[in-house]
Amino acid sequence: MLAILALGATTLLWAPVATAQVRVDDNPLIGDRVKKVQGLGAGRSIDEIDEIDVKSILGSVIPSLVVAKVEQLGSGSFEERELATVSLRSMPVADEVLMAVLEKGGLDEEQRNRMLGVLRWRVLHRPRGAVGIRMEPAASGIRGVLVTEVIKDLPAERVLRVGDVILEINRAALATSSDLISKVQRLQPGDQIRMKVLRPVPADTPDAPGIIRLDRDRAFQEVDVEFPLGSYEKLGNDPTSSALGNPETMRRRARVEEIWARWGTDATTVAVALPLVEPENSPDASSRP
């Protein structure tokens, strides 16, 4: 079965890094100090980790801008609550910061339900990268995926050809179309990606470095291509409409279920827990890089 390759979500998810960074001053966009959260890769969101790490979440420092928006979620004005919801969806903070709000507790039912909705939206709608091909399993004797069509105005149009067999993405071997989808859709539009490709050449091509023969009638040249990913949205697919055949959609839905299983319980209090923002005069505030 042909599959559209619309592939993404954050940079170099597989490289192990010791810490993530979360802003702690009043403006999370321009602050100088950071809080290190042990156990998370730098730049990684909580939904890219195998399990929710409550200890790491509780180590997050929640910026005062987030606190203000969380308080606004409990406003008596519907319009104010809606504005705060939209703001939290697009706010450039890591998901674990918002999860820390839920874990610390002290929210009324309106605030908690809206925070759950915000996290659901962020997990399901986080941008996905796209190569822009249709594909199917490679022919017998080759472990990879065969490019059957390149889609106009997406990166594949410039670097891949019909008949190419993609063997690796970022040095990770591929066996199925699902492997390819899963790897690319965890990355974001604009992220650089590298592929190892077998490109068909005439059977009478002279032997040379990089020329591979599978039998008398099939010859290929090994080619490395590197390019920035395009956007999944350009394919016109609704990323939340169906998980069938899309491992990244399934993974994101499973993350949402995990979030609901932990924090989708009845609220017990009506105020935001204190303190959410680290005081400027805390003992170790000046020792952080």
Dump pLDDT digits (tens) for 104-163.
999 999 999 999 999 999 999 999 999 999 999 887 778 899 999 999 999 999 999 999
Is residue 72 within 8 Å of 91, Cβ to Cβ? no
Q: Is the pLDDT of residue 101 over 50?
A: yes
Residue 150 · residue 161 · CB < 8 Å: yes
| Helix, strand, or coil (residue 201) | strand
Q: Confidence class of residue 11 from pLDDT cuts 50, 70 and 90? A: very low
d(CA 271, CA 285): 26
Q: Which residues contact 284 (CB under 8 A, 6 or more apart)?
A: none
CA dihedral 83, 89, 93, 99 (to 10 degrees): 100
Count the Cβ atoms, other than its own, within 10 Å of residue 38. 11
Closest among 156, 149, 152, 148 to 130, alpha carbons compared: 156
Task: State the chain's mean pLDDT as an integer.
Answer: 77
Closest C-alpha among 168, 277, 180 to residue 226: 168
3-state secondary structure of 148: strand
Most confident of 23-37, 220-234, 270-284: 220-234
One-letter amino acid at 130 equals: A
The pLDDT of residue 25: 30
What is the architecture of the domain spanning 3-7+128-235?
Roll (2.30)
pLDDT > 70: what percent of the chain?
71
Q: Which two tokens stand for residue 46?
A: 């909580």
| In contact, 145 and 90? CB cutoff 8 Å | no
What are the sequence ranges of the domains in the chain? 3-7+128-235, 19-127+250-275
Is 37 within 8 Å of 62 (Cβ atoms)?
Answer: no
Strand, coil or helix: what is 233?
Answer: helix
The least confident of 37-46, 210-219, 249-258, 266-275 is 37-46
Reported pTM: 0.67
Decide: 28 and 5 in contact? Cβ < 8 Å: no
